Structure 1
Amino acid sequence: MVNEIKKTEDNVISTLGDIKQTVADFTDMFADMRGNITDDMLKRGDEIKKREESFKTSFEETRENLTNGIEAEKEKLIQLQGKLEQPPIAFYAHHLKDLKLDTTDEILIFEKTFTNEGTGYDTSTGLFTAPVGGLYQFSVHTCAYYKKYAFIGLVLEGNVIAADANYGDESHGCNNFGSIVRVKSGEQVWVKSTSSSSNRQLHQDSFRMNTFNGELVNN
């Protein structure tokens, strides 16, 4: 019985040893698994953080671009609204105060107007003063007296930008000339005699009109 008890005791000790070893093996295995899981979770956490930072950066860039785009379009709309609210600028003047061209650089004064939108043309001086800057189109129509010459120039701030030479050959001859030019706000445009003598003179009657007109094309 003692031997049997001892044998049983040895078996129990051996079994307990096996169980202890098994528990130790499982403990090590779970420790490795926990380590691997922790490393993997940390890596995934880093990736998520990087993606989050990238998303934040992209979102801020997109928001900034959209804000800038909206502000630019808003400014365009404000400018467009200003243009739409701005009254048209155009004038059409006629009837010369003096038909003689006996003084070089003398301003031709058209003392009547059919149209003067924007009140840029002055019938007392013959000067057109641009109310706003922009691209303007001007046209001049003059008639030379019979057997006499007319040398006329279109002037912007003292510089001739278009000119015409006319002679009344078989009758009172009429010519038309003009220019499209960019004019700054406040700058002046006028018509003048570019050459003078006793043989220089214009003519006007109910059939022939001397005219000076202009309009704002685009600003």
Structure 2
Amino acid sequence: MKMNFAITLCLIVFCGLSLAQDEDDATECSPCEPGLCDFLIGFGAMTEKLADSETRLKDTEKQIVELQNKERIKVIFSAAVGVGHKNIGPFNTDPTLIYRRVITNIGGAYSQSTGVFTAPVAGVYYFSFFYHAGGEHPVNLRLYKNNELIVDTSDHQSKEDGADNGGNAVSLQLTQGDRVYIRMAANTHVWGGDLPTTFTGYLVAQM
């Protein structure tokens, strides 16, 4: 196709030159000179290569834009229990602990009403949770991924220990829609102030 285009262009150009040079032979078309035909053939091939390069460049630009959009996704949250100066628990069930005082919720993946974090994108996430509690009751907080227990933190009941603090942290690989939350074990408690009992998570790397 490239060669036919170049030869046709060559014949058109040099037929026009022949017509201009000799009116008596206006109906005859001189063949193009071999060197010029070679040049036109090469020019046609170069044009095709430039078109291919332009297409590849556009594809590369599209990929760069997609990567930039992925990098712009930010997921960060931090919340405290925030129910005033009183204990939460003990209960005879294992309730999901709801952290009502939202400190940060970039990306909106944490639900203030349910206490559940839902992964908006697949990736590796980091989570941490801490508590403050009195020593008169045991403590046991458990971090779940969907329905799977991942890590926990606990403390035994003690009459001599006036107050307890503890926590844990974990990195998790999540798919979009995976849920992460904290449950408090039955017959345990934590302090429900605005500051010490917290739940935090953020996206480390999108996958």
TM bucket (normalised to shorter chain) is 0.5 to 0.7
Q: Which residue of 1 aligns with 2:190?
A: 202
Q: Distance in 1 between matches of 2:199 and 2:97?
A: 10
1:133-187 per-residue CA deviation (whole Å, 9 max, x = no partner) reads 2110000001232221111110111111111112364122010102100111122
- Structure 2, unmatched stretches of 5+, are 1-44, 46-50
Normalised to the residue count of structure 2, the TM-score between the two structures is 0.64
2:82·2:193 contact (CA, 8 Å) conserved in 1?
no
Where relative contact order (Cα < 8 A, 6+ residues apart) is larger, the structure is 2
- RMSD (CA atoms): 3.2
Q: Which residue of 1 aligns with 2:123?
A: 134
Q: Which residue of 2 aligns with 1:177?
A: 168
Q: How many residues align?
A: 161
SS of alignment partner, residue 66 of structure 2:
helix
TM-fit CA distance, 1:73: 4.4
Normalised to the residue count of structure 1, the TM-score between the two structures is 0.61
1:91·1:214 contact (CA, 8 Å) conserved in 2?
yes
Q: Which residue of 2 aligns with 1:90?
A: 76
1:127·1:189 contact (CA, 8 Å) conserved in 2?
yes
Q: Distance in 2 between matches of 1:157 and 1:115?
A: 22
Q: Distance in 1 between matches of 2:98 and 2:120?
A: 19
1:91·1:116 contact (CA, 8 Å) conserved in 2?
yes
- Structure 1, unmatched stretches of 5+, are 1-55, 57-62
Note closer, same or farther for the CA distance 1:73–1:101 as it changes in structure 2 (3 Å cut): farther
**For the pair shown, which has the larger CA radius of gyration, 1 or 2?**
1
SS of alignment partner, residue 94 of structure 2:
coil
Q: Which residue of 2 aligns with 1:32?
A: none
TM-fit CA distance, 1:84: 3.5
> Is residue 2:99 matched to residue 1:110?
yes
Which AA in structure 1 matches 2:114?
T
Which AA in structure 2 matches 1:218?
A
Instruction: Report matched runs for 1:1-219 at 5 Å.
Output: 73-74=60-61, 76-86=63-73, 88-97=74-83, 99-167=88-156, 169=158, 170-193=161-184, 195-197=185-187, 200-205=188-193, 209-219=196-206
TM-fit CA distance, 1:205: 4.3
2:144·2:182 contact (CA, 8 Å) conserved in 1?
yes
Q: Distance in 2 between matches of 1:68 and 1:160?
A: 50
Which AA in structure 2 matches 1:196?
A
Q: Distance in 1 between matches of 2:67 and 2:157?
A: 48
